């Protein structure tokens, strides 16, 4: 796992398996430079927020999977996520 610090730069090659999550209690901000296609993907899966945490409900995850498939993106299984310490409970 790579944890960034302020000003940190990380390059993720196209289609490289990866995850982004904040393991800390403080809020995090990410500035991304990405492809036009990935930008459209993020725009489509995004949702307005009032600054509170949005739960990963089964409906949210189902929509995420459908939009990922539309763009040809792969997602890890629950077991693959758990193997790297990312547990999705719902």
Q: How does pLDDT run along the chain (90 residues), one tens digit per residue?
A: 566 677 778 888 887 887 777 777 887 788 888 889 999 999 999 877 777 777 778 888 889 899 999 999 988 888 888 887 777 655
Phi, psi dihedrals of residue 9, rounded to the nearest 5°: -120, 135
pLDDT in tens, 32-58: 888 899 999 999 998 777 777 777 788
Residues 6+ apart with CB under 8 A from 19: 76, 81, 84, 86
**Helix, coil or strand: residue 23:** coil
């Amino acid at each position: 796992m790579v944890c960034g610090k302020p000003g940190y730069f990380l390059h993720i090659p196209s289609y490289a398996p990866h995850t982004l999550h904040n393991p800390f209690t403080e809020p995090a901000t990410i500035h991304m430079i990405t492809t036009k296609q990935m930008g459209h993907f993020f725009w489509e899966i995004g949702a307005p927020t009032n600054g509170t945490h949005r739960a990963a409900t089964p409906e949210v995850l189902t929509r995420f999977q459908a939009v990922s498939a539309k763009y040809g993106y792969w997602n890890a299984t629950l077991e693959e996520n758990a193997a790297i310490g990312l547990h999705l409970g719902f």
